[in-house]
Amino acid sequence: MSRLTMVVLALVALAAFFAACGDDAASKPAGPVLSDHDYLAVVCKGLSDFSSALLTKTKAEDLTQVIKDYAASLKKIQPPADVAQFHKDFIKYLEDAYSEPTALVTKAPPLPPTDVRQRLAAEEGRTAECQDARFFARSN
């Protein structure tokens, strides 16, 4: 009986190990690190979708779904290296609004360091998706 117990414990340990490995792989985005332009296209599209939802959605759960979709789109991409901390903080900012989606209108979002923000702001003007959503160029 103790031999059987040891085999079962070993299998459970292996299953836990492989499950943990799978979780790590699933939480990391696939694909290359995006350029500033491509990164901004994703960020600005989400901002535009959220702005449109504020004008058209009448239920909080519908607005929450737009925010969840936005966060999911951000989780799928790899930002430029010096934008990684902002990216992580911004996803958390969105996730924190799931229970109260209109909080995004009144709660200031995180921002990258000034030099990174200025670089992204300059690229916003050359990114079609950012024409109506100048997130990094705005002043706080």
The model's pLDDT over 105-132, given as tens digits with 9 standing for 90+, comes to 999 999 999 999 999 999 999 999 999 8
pLDDT interval class at 28 (50, 70, 90): low
91 three-state secondary structure: helix
* Burial letters 34-62, b for 16+ CB under 10 A, else e: bebeebbbbbbbbbbbbeebeeebeeeee
pLDDT (average), residues 53-67: 94
* Whether pTM exceeds 0.85: no
Instruction: Write down the domain spans for the chain.
Output: 1-30, 32-130
Whether the CA torsion 45, 51, 56, 57 is positive or negative: it is: positive
Q: Write down how long the chain is.
A: 140
pLDDT interval class at 26 (50, 70, 90): very low
Q: Dihedrals φ, ψ of 126, to 5°?
A: -100, 10
Average pLDDT over the chain, rounded to an integer: 82
In the chain, the DSSP E strands lie at none
* Closest C-alpha among 43, 41, 33 to residue 82: 33
